[in-house]
Amino acid sequence: MGIKLFSFAVASVLLGYYVYLPLPETLNERWKLMVVDTCFRSLENLAELTEFIGLKHYMEVMMLLTVAEMVGPSSDENVTVVDTTFNGVAVRVFEPTNRNPGLRRAVIYMHGGGWCLGSAKMQPYDVLSRKTATELNAVIVSVEYRLAPQHHFPDQFNDVYAVVKYFLQRDVLVQYLVDPGRVAVAGDSAGGNLAAAVAQQIKEDPEVQVEIKIQALVYPALQTIDFNTPSYQQNKNMPILPKTLMVRFWSEYFSRDKSLLREMMANTHTSLEAKDLSSLVNWSVLLPEKFRKEYKYTPPGGGKEGTRVPGVFDPRAAPLLAGDEKLRALPQAYIMTCEFDVLRDDGTMYAMRLQRAGVQVTLEHFEDCFHGVLMLITWPANFAIGQKLMSRYIDWLQENL
């Protein structure tokens, strides 16, 4: 009896220790987040172990979360849902059943998951698309692009590009009853990265005659130069997306080579040639005082040799590294950032650069939010702040698309 009680006490303390995280007071729904984070961390630990003993790639284990949440393409009273392909790339299309007279709007949506995880078929993305389709009376094309570690940059980008290019054809827009002047690209996290990248590149494609009207970027990842921005430093141990995981996502996007991950973690992957690019990500001038705080700016690069992995500084992978001439031509943007997110400063700097280039930008910063919360909108991980972000995103589209 005594020993059982003792074991129970020890187990409770250990569990409490494992679950408890000292999170900031201003963070909403902290206890719920600790529980969600414990599930995440347990899976991450399992993934580390499985990879270490050579059984499976880290991301293949992490993918279990995505697979567990997949749902079929089921239509309901408001939306007709179909899985199909555009230009050979898988997409899930949500069409409102309410056929009001007149043309509809459209959103091409890119899911998040660090270019390695996630799916248009995951329940939270399915829910988000249905809600957007119903409330906006819009066609939603949710892109099922290929993922790392099987596929690397530029495959993810190319898939998304192929879908957007296909959809922007006049006959396709007619088929879906979509107004050619009211098409948006949108995405969260790595999906925000892909949306921003495609918005930049498609501008220069002479075969594309229809313009994207707006871009909506939810806590996007936008740059590969500096993994020591104030938000990377402040939030390096935040739940859902600690710095180690974000940098791992970046390195997996380009290569399976673990040396890139080590260089990126140490911020030594940027070469001397990247110096010109560094000024595009100079947070000592691109961030407001309240984010810079007491953090000390050190220019990345430092004359080291840097990475030889191709693509790492390509603006199709890191849209913040595009020059000002490119930014000037971009469509109106909505950028959402969260205080407790390593990517807060990526989004903030992009908003600042777009604004300076004369692009109309709405930057909405949430003081009480953390990365990934837009995905926490379904049982059992349903967060009030996730619902809030979803409503804000849809409301902005309602007003601007």
Residue 78 or 80: which CB sits closer to ligand NAG? 78
Contacts of residue 228, defined as CB under 8 A and 6 or more positions apart, other chains included, come to 267, 298, 300
Nearest Cα to 215, choosing from 330, 90, 96? 330
Active site residues: 189, 341, 371
Closest approach of ligand NAG to the CB of residue 361, in Å: 21
User: What DSSP letter does each residue of 190-217 carry, written as one string?
Assistant: HHHHHHHHHHHHHTT-TT--SPP-EEEE
Strand-pairing partners, residue 170, are: none
The footprint of ligand NAG on residues 248-287 (CB under 6 A) is: 278-279, 282, 284-285
- Number of residues engaging ligand NAG in binding (CB under 6 A): 10
**CA 41 to each of CA 64, 141, 188, 189, 202: distance values in angstroms, whole numbers, following the listed order:** 13, 32, 21, 19, 38
Closest approach of ligand NAG to the CB of residue 190, in Å: 26
Sheet strands (E) in 43-88: 79-86
Closest approach of ligand NAG to the CB of residue 46, in Å: 35
Structure tokens at 265: 């973690």
The verdict on 289 binding ligand NAG (CB under 6 A) reads no
Residue 24 or 299: which CB sits closer to ligand NAG? 299
How far, in Å, CA of 208 to CA of 291, rounded? Answer: 39
Residue 266 or 285: which CB sits closer to ligand NAG? 285
Among 6, 55, 70, 76, binds ligand NAG (CB under 6 A): 76
User: What DSSP letter does each residue of 102-154 carry, written as one string?
Assistant: S-EEEEEEE--STTTS--TTBHHHHHHHHHHHHHHTEEEEEE----TTTS-TT
Q: 99-138 mask for ligand NAG (x: CB under 6 A)?
A: -----------------------------------x----
Amino acid residing at 202: I
Residue 254 or 283: which CB sits closer to ligand NAG? 283
Among 25, 77, 207, 399, binds ligand NAG (CB under 6 A): 77
Q: 298-317 mask for ligand NAG (x: CB under 6 A)?
A: -x------------------
Binding site for ligand NAG (CB under 6 A): 76-78, 134, 278-279, 282, 284-285, 299
